[in-house]
Amino acid sequence: MTHDLLITNARVVRPGTADPVPAAIAVDGGTITAIGPQLRPEDAREVVDARGRLAFPGAVDGHQHWGIYNPLDVDTDSESRASAQGGVTTGLTYMRTGQYYLNRGGSYAEFFPEVLKLSQDRSYVDYAFHLAPMQAGHIDELGQLVDDFGVSSFKIFMFYGSHGLHGRSADQSSFLMTPPGERYDLAHFEFVMRGVQRVRAERPELADGISLSLHCETAEIMAAYTKLVEEAGDLKGLAAYSASRPAHSEGLAITMASYLAHETGLPAINLLHLSGEKAMSAALRMAQAFPHVDFRREVTIGHLLATYDTAAGLGGKVNPPLRAESDRLALWQAVLDGHVDWVVSDHACCRDEAKFGTDRDDVFLAKSGFGGAEYLLPGLITEGRRHGLPLGRVAELLSANPAKRYGLWPRKGDLAPGFDADIVLVDPDRTWTVRAQESDSTQEYTPFEGFELTARVDEVWLRGNRILRDGAVVGTPTGRYLRRPVRD
């Protein structure tokens, strides 16, 4: 038998395994066809010697924001390249109507085809989209989005109704571009949940791949605390921003969202980017209160690596904010205790000229969000080893778990026969310093500037096509739009 590609002398890391296993990986037609020590180089058209490096399944980054601050077609190119640098082979982007993204309202039947058109043939990694029902009409479109467009995951931004994206309240009706008379509030969130559950019930064979994600912060709490922080004036920078969006605003929103899930019978809830001890504690309390709800808990690589004291400047402004060191350590304890389901980048490229306001020292004038997909796998391996996190658990957190929840299993998320040949070779003994200028992102800065990482992504294949060689993106875009849930 002749294989298209054979990667030899690899140490294969699979989700849930204790230790890497020495093996070769055979690829045919873009799919993994065999893994084991018995595979021979003479049986392959192309042979790559992994030289003992770790072979991970490509990361499924379940939380990105292509097109939020830059044109979607531009971001799809540059930020997918940055994704490949971080071992990401599948990126899922949150998309909505309203200001930012395409800067238009209306129905998804008209909006989403434009999203697909702008991103087509531009991505270096496979990609999919989560969509947010921003208005009542979008709830009626949920079934069509699943059936006709292969979108099976949806989102609620709990603070959007009366608090600005970047920290101060604004005219939310014009920001959201919702129809006159409609409100983006708790009642709307309830109706979204009922709509998602109706779609699940009508499609029982697809239900496990359909879920709802929530950005949990409470607008009223944040508006009040923003005023208090600005009037006091004793806090500056990222510490001030964290205080203006206090941790208990997350806990309160998580509590409300969880009760609404219970009330509406929706059993598949994803709690996004939990930022610290209070958010995680609230999420675990709700799981105990409502055991019939299948909660999944997400943490970002930013919150696991940086704090408001260690991030490199105001470029670290993000929602929810970077917290204190005690919160970072609490998140790591949750990871080690098995309470975190997946880790993401929350990648939102915002170039320097757009990120910072007229006063570069005023955190409240800066825009929220930053990139980080290029540091996802090396960052989690680096910090994970310091905390004793097994490599197989890294593969669960970055690949298998998000693939299963978001309807991509059994094509994505593992290194096993039948899975897409999304393969990442990592040098676990390469120490390097993060420099924004070395990223393919157009962002120009990073809150991780100067951080020392001790693992490096060297080579990446997407469905058997090499997209990264010696840390540099190669070739032309071959990423595909992924309709979900995939069929076995």
Q: What is the tens place of the pLDDT at every residue in 232-267?
A: 999 999 999 999 999 999 999 999 999 999 999 999
Q: What is the pLDDT averaged over residues 21-34?
A: 98
Percent of the chain residues topping a pLDDT of 90: 94
Q: What is the pLDDT averaged over residues 19-37?
A: 97
Q: Are 392 and 21 in contact (CB under 8 A)?
A: no
Q: Is the pLDDT reported for residue 173 higher than 70?
A: no
CA distance 174 to 255: 28
Q: Are 484 and 209 in contact (CB under 8 A)?
A: yes
Structure confidence at residue 168 (pLDDT): 60
Q: Which amino acid is at 272?
A: L
- Could you tell me the two tokens for 195? 């709509």
Residues 6 or more apart in contact with residue 141 via CB below 8 angstroms: 107, 108, 109, 133
User: Going from the N-terminus, what domains does the chain have, and what CATH number goes with each?
Assistant: 58-411 (3.20.20.140)
CA distance 98 to 377: 32
Give the pLDDT band (50/70/90) at residue 169. Answer: very low
Find, among 329, 333, 303, 299, the residue nearest to 402 by Cα: 299
Give the pLDDT band (50/70/90) at residue 149. Answer: very high
Q: Are 312 and 286 in contact (CB under 8 A)?
A: no
pLDDT digits (tens, 9 = 90+) for 69-94: 999 999 999 999 999 999 999 999 99
Structure confidence at residue 107 (pLDDT): 98
CA distance 479 to 244: 40
Average pLDDT over the chain reads 96
Q: Is the pLDDT reported for residue 487 higher than 80?
A: no
Q: What is the pLDDT averaged over residues 11-22?
A: 96
Give the pLDDT band (50/70/90) at residue 342. Answer: very high
Q: What is the pLDDT averaged over residues 273-283?
A: 98
Find, among 89, 177, 76, the residue nearest to 132 by Cα: 177
Structure confidence at residue 324 (pLDDT): 98
Find, among 224, 210, 223, 214, the residue nearest to 256 by Cα: 214
pLDDT digits (tens, 9 = 90+) for 464-473: 999 999 999 9
Q: Is the pLDDT reported for residue 281 higher than 70?
A: yes
Q: Is the pLDDT reported for residue 187 higher than 60?
A: yes
pTM of the prediction?
A: 0.97
Count of beta carbons in the 10 Å neighbourhood of residue 180: 5
Residues 6 or more apart in contact with residue 129 via CB below 8 angstroms: 92, 93, 94, 95, 112, 115, 151
CA distance 8 to 31: 16
pLDDT digits (tens, 9 = 90+) for 419-466: 999 999 999 999 999 999 999 999 999 999 999 999 999 999 999 999
Q: Is the pLDDT reported for residue 170 higher than 60?
A: no
Structure confidence at residue 160 (pLDDT): 85
pLDDT digits (tens, 9 = 90+) for 410-428: 999 999 999 999 999 999 9
Structure confidence at residue 358 (pLDDT): 84
CA distance 201 to 188: 20
Q: What is the pLDDT averaged over residues 356-370?
A: 91
Percent of the chain residues topping a pLDDT of 70: 98
Q: What is the pLDDT averaged over residues 370-392?
A: 98
